Amino acid sequence: MSRLNDANEVLAKEIIGRYPKARSATIPLLHVAQQQNGYITNEAIAHIAELVGATSAEVLGTCTFYEMFKMQPVGKYLINICTTMSCALLGAEQLVQHAEQHLGIKAGGTTPDGLFTLERAECQAACTEAPCLQANYRYRYRVTPAQLDQFLDDLADGRLDAEIPPHGVVARVRQSIPVDRGVGAVAPDEVHEAPAWMSLGEKS
Amino acid sequence: MSSYTWAPGFIDDGDRPQIVTSRFQYEDGHTLERYLATGGYAGLKAALARTPVQVHDEVKAATVLGRGGAGFPAGTKWGLTPVEVWPRYLVVNGDESEPGTYKDRLLMERDPHQLIEGCLIACYAAGLSQCFLYIRGEMALAQERVATALNDAYAAGYIGRNILGSKFSVDVVLHWGAGAYVVGEETALIESLEGNRGMPRLKPPFFPAAIGLYGKPTIVNNVETLANLPWLLTHSAAEYTAIGTATSPGTRMVAVSGHVKRPGVFEIVNGTTTFRDLLYGAEFCQGIRDGNELKAFVPGGGSAPWFLPDQLDLPFEAKLVGAAGSMLGSGAVMVMDETTDIPTAAHTLTRFYAHESCGKCVPCREGGTWLERIMERLADGRGTESDLAQLLEIGQTICPGPFPHAASERLGLEAAPFPFKMTTICFVGPSAYTSVHSAITLFRSEFEAKLIKRKLIPVSVGATDDGH
């Protein structure tokens, strides 16, 4: 079953409800799909298209634009080693080569056991902590080859399961707007007046 | 105190004013409890005690410069919405991904309530009826921290309907991306928020303040810009402008990375702190690593033309840096020491922008890729003399006419100031060319030293096509 499951469809509708237009939820819903299946399936694309009122082609177009969405299964752990300037100046390329040797794959590939996918990544906004990497979008800073070996072993042996969830899970905390507190989204063309508080001070 | 394990890279040595980083010293600085215990949401209360116009005037008087790259004053931006067109939206740009830039992520991870409070103040002042907080997709912890903070703030009555019992009602919606540098450009950010591929919209004539999200007036502000507002409202524009200089008031966050002894993220005084202070000062980076010589530095993120040691005494002041041939951009300084192989270093930046081109404008989509391929072979020692000319020619198709660069005493070169002309909608295309142009202009001999030394193949007169 690679459409969104029942629980995720409920979540999807809650997310859609926050936006003045449903299509704005496209990227968040693609993340929900990737969290459920580990990658984006065609069935999930079709389901999201139904939910946001777009065509499958439109959702696919959005999906393929963004780096994080994978159209094929990847490893349980996606290892992104930053290779942009600050990291490159401090040995990122050697770190990639070291990871390739350790895992026995080239960057872009996945280990035969399906545990690791290795990628060269672009700037991760940790430039003072170079060279850095992300495993399923969790950081490691100022990484030495020896630390990388230990880290990959720890991941493989499940010692970091509490900190690093499997690929597809990004944030583990979601926003939840309480019904009694939320203002609620209004379609943009249904609003014609200034918000109530803008008249404050005008009468005095 | 100096650095904290929970705020990697952040250093607060010295006695500098702290407007946006004051809670980084607390391990629990991201919680509502700590936020309230350290003056949190007092800025919102101060705002609600005044009229929206008064709050807007205060922000205008402070000249809070945009911290995303362009440096446009926030108060002025808010005033560009067309009269009596509603609704208006706030979109927060937390898609930090400019090479070298590391500050917005810290602000979101370490002090999410400060950002939320800044959003609320902006919405109140400019009549923005919904706020979308767009966080970069790869920033899992920032998303978690902001989500938690939003949930707590809703429960405590700081966001939502009739905030703190007033007429002010606004939703702040957490939105997150999925990996695309170009989405940091404000119109691409809006496209992405509408569920589309993140491709920039043509502007002018219409800027987002007039026609933005869903075709409605939209203010797009950077995370750090908004994080300044709570302090500004609990203090005053006069106190804000007392820090820094008249044209660059307040503080700004700067990340210094690369070949320095102590890379770090610092909140510096705007307008007066010089690059020499930053790179060599005891409270900052403490000099170049291993006692090496400084070769060059990028002063404002990967899109900024490079500076040489000649420019070290320039302060963080946009006009002066612009006249000297570069820009302050997003507060990211990348330092190269004497051991740096310039063609290789420049290639990493060209590759970044070529990879991140959205494909909408031909000069960027095709030109960026060509630049990257040629730079790769030059860096690998497979380039030829004609490659250098070819690079500059491709650059001319992206940025016709003079391109900014630094002055060099060594080369007898005078500065070419900002701005430049461009044939693309956004700055990704020109940025692919920036490092190429800087590296060749300032370090041409390093490229020449790596050219292939190939003997010309003799061609004899009368030879036939098949070589017999």
Q: Mark whether B88 and B193 lie in a shared domain.
A: yes
CATH topology of domain A77-156: Glutaredoxin (3.40.30)
The two beta strands, B251-258 and B332-337, are parallel
* Final residue before a domain boundary, out of B269, B298, B328: B328
Q: Which of residues 16-45 of B touch A (CB under 8 A)?
A: none
Domain hosting B345: range is: 341-452
The two beta strands, B294-298 and B332-337, are antiparallel
How many Cβ contacts (< 8 angstroms) between chains A and B?
251
Contact at CB, A85 and B178, closer than 8 angstroms: no
Q: Which of residues 106-165 of B touch A (CB under 8 A)?
A: 124, 127, 129-130, 136-141, 143-144, 147-148, 150-151, 154-155, 157, 159-161
pLDDT, position A204? 43
CB contact B54 to A (< 8 Å): yes
Query: What distance in Å separates the CA atoms of residue B251 and residue B65, rounded to the nearest whole number?
Result: 10
Q: Mark whether B321 and B189 lie in a shared domain.
A: no
- For the cut 90, the answer to whether the pLDDT of residue A1 exceeds it is no
pLDDT tens-digit series, residues B267-320: 999 999 999 999 999 999 999 999 999 999 999 999 999 999 999 999 999 999
- For the cut 50, the answer to whether the pLDDT of residue B86 exceeds it is yes
Task: Closest CB to A188: pick one of B87, B148, B298.
Answer: B87
Q: Mark whether B206 and B354 lie in a shared domain.
A: no
Contact at CB, A66 and B144, closer than 8 angstroms: no
User: What is the CATH number for B284?
Assistant: 3.10.20.600
pLDDT tens-digit series, residues B402-431: 999 999 999 999 999 999 999 999 999 999
Q: What's the mean per-residue pLDDT of chain A?
A: 96
Q: What is the DSSP letter of A110?
A: B
What are the structural domain ranges in chain A? 6-65, 77-156
Please check whether residue B464 lies inside any domain of the structure: no
Q: Mark whether B194 and B109 lie in a shared domain.
A: yes
User: What is the CATH number for B376?
Assistant: 1.20.1440.230
Q: Which of A194, A196, A180 is nearest to B168 (CA)?
A: A196
pLDDT, position B458? 74
Q: Mark whether B201 and B347 lie in a shared domain.
A: no
pLDDT tens-digit series, residues B119-143: 999 999 999 999 999 999 999 999 9
Q: What is the DSSP letter of A174?
A: -
Please check whether residue B465 lies inside any domain of the structure: no
- pLDDT category at B1 given cuts 50, 70, 90 is low
Which CATH architecture describes the domain A6-65?
Orthogonal Bundle (1.10)
- For the cut 90, the answer to whether the pLDDT of residue B465 exceeds it is no
Contact at CB, B143 and A185, closer than 8 angstroms: no
- In the β-sheet with B130-135, what is the strand arrangement from edge to edge? B171-176, B130-135, B89-94, B218-222
Q: Mark whether B75 and B224 lie in a shared domain.
A: yes
Contact at CB, A62 and B151, closer than 8 angstroms: no
Q: Mark whether B95 and B179 lie in a shared domain.
A: yes
Contact at CB, B143 and A25, closer than 8 angstroms: no
Q: Mark whether B201 and B69 lie in a shared domain.
A: yes
Q: Mark whether B261 and B193 lie in a shared domain.
A: no
* Final residue before a domain boundary, out of B224, B241, B258: B241
Q: Mark whether B138 and B234 lie in a shared domain.
A: yes
CB contact B102 to A (< 8 Å): yes
Please check whether residue B3 lies inside any domain of the structure: no
Contact at CB, B161 and A183, closer than 8 angstroms: yes
The residue of chain A with its CA nearest to that of B337 is: A89
ipTM: 0.97
- pLDDT category at B462 given cuts 50, 70, 90 is low
Q: Mark whether B303 and B347 lie in a shared domain.
A: no
Query: What distance in Å separates the CA atoms of residue B353 and residue B430, rounded to the nearest whole number?
Result: 9
Contact at CB, A197 and B167, closer than 8 angstroms: yes
Q: Mark whether B42 and B74 lie in a shared domain.
A: yes
* Final residue before a domain boundary, out of B328, B350, B372: B328
Contact at CB, A89 and B160, closer than 8 angstroms: no
- Number of domains within chain B: 3
